[in-house]
Amino acid sequence: MDFTNGPACPIPISDYPNVLLAHGGGGRLTNQLIARMFLPAFDNPALQAQHDGAVFRVGDASPQLAFSTDSYVIHPLFFPGGDIGSLAVHGTVNDLAMCGARPLYLSAGYIIEEGLPMDTLWRIVQSMQAAARNAGVQIVTGDTKVVDRGKGDGVFINTAGVGIVEHERRITPQSVRPGDALIVNGDIGRHGIAIMAVREGLEFETTIESDSAAVAELVMQLLAENIEVHSLRDLTRGGLASALNEIAGSAGVGVAIEERRVPVRDDVHAACEMLGFDPLYVACEGRFVAFVAPQDAERARAVMRGHPLGADAAIIGTVKADHPGVVMMKSRIGVSRIVDMISGEQLPRIC
């Protein structure tokens, strides 16, 4: 098929003639790539929601389904608190949960580099199976490919997932309203710092473990308690800052948070200072932000704190009608600043 006479590439070659690592980092360049290239090319109502997955109905009488997919290229394959196998399950399970869906089934596609030790592959498979069992999902189909030595960095994994939406709530970025409270289910930044510590051979006084976990059960508890949840977003690539900017942009609202309310562990904060990172932009794999109606904020936090994955849940801010599309943060000393999308790539290959 000849595309030479088709539409011009929507991202000017003069800006970025080649793909950069930052195009996959979850920040400004990732969003630019999605908004200018992928969304126009594949435009449809489900994609326009710009959610963590697609929510749709098959037949008039059937419940809604959620569908999501993700690929995992993390380096190293094993890290404190997890590995690429468990991460591949947690990531897709969490994307489905962010749609308000109960995850049910996953696919698993393995792209394996020639020469990968069988023992390594077996450890990954066993970890993936255990993570699926603990998350209450089944891996029901998959694919295996092997690429030449030196072309695959050990193994890459793709998972796709299907879940069922057992309610009629509309949990989307566009459902966010001024006055909504922002609640995170725990401390941020641990996953990215855990990866960096192993990758660079850094040693801290304590071992920083990834927060990688499946949060679907916690989300289901919020819904079971009839919490008025308007939107959910997991804090993966680009961290809390990118998630808030994405929601603010999609909903056309402003977001205001307070630095002192954002939970960051002391060891993670110290590591970020030493490495020159901002914890707001560091990826998590078991953390999400919930946009909740103001009258339900305290009750939602209490529900979260009753679950192990929400024990440190915190209300960190509110949604504003003014400064639409902009995230503002009040610092510990009372000064407000804009929390923008990151332009580059703080930590590549962390998921």
pLDDT of the residue at 85 = 98
Tokens 């002391």, located at residue: 266
48 lies in some domain: no
Which residue intervals of 138-296 are DSSP H helices?
190-200, 216-224, 239-251, 266-275
26 lies in some domain: no
31 lies in some domain: no
Tokens coding 316: 């960190």
Looking at the structure, do residues 227 and 144 belong to the same domain, yes or no? no
Looking at the structure, do residues 66 and 128 belong to the same domain, yes or no? yes
Residue ending a domain, among 165, 185, 202, is 165
Q: Which residues pair with 113 in a beta bridge?
A: 147
Domain boundaries, position 99: 55-165
- Coil, strand, or helix at residue 231? strand
Looking at the structure, do residues 66 and 144 belong to the same domain, yes or no? yes
What H or E segment, with its residue span, contains residue 264? Answer: none
Looking at the structure, do residues 142 and 126 belong to the same domain, yes or no? yes
Looking at the structure, do residues 246 and 154 belong to the same domain, yes or no? no
Residue ending a domain, among 132, 165, 198, is 165
Looking at the structure, do residues 193 and 222 belong to the same domain, yes or no? yes
Looking at the structure, do residues 141 and 178 belong to the same domain, yes or no? no
351 lies in some domain: no
Q: Write the CATH number for 273.
A: 3.90.650.10
Tokens 């050990």, located at residue: 154
pLDDT digits (tens, 9 = 90+) for 149-173: 998 899 999 999 999 999 999 999 9
Residues 6+ apart with CB under 8 A from 277: 189, 192, 193, 271, 346, 347
CA dist 330 and 332 (Å) reads 7
Domains in the chain, number: 2
The model carries a pTM of 0.92
Residues 6+ apart with CB under 8 A from 12: none
Q: What is the CA radius of gyration of the chain?
A: 20
The half-sphere exposure of 218 on its side-chain side, counting CA atoms within 13 A, is: 31
All residue ranges of the chain with pLDDT < 70 are 1-14, 61, 344-347
pLDDT of the residue at 186 = 98
CA dist 307 and 301 (Å) reads 10
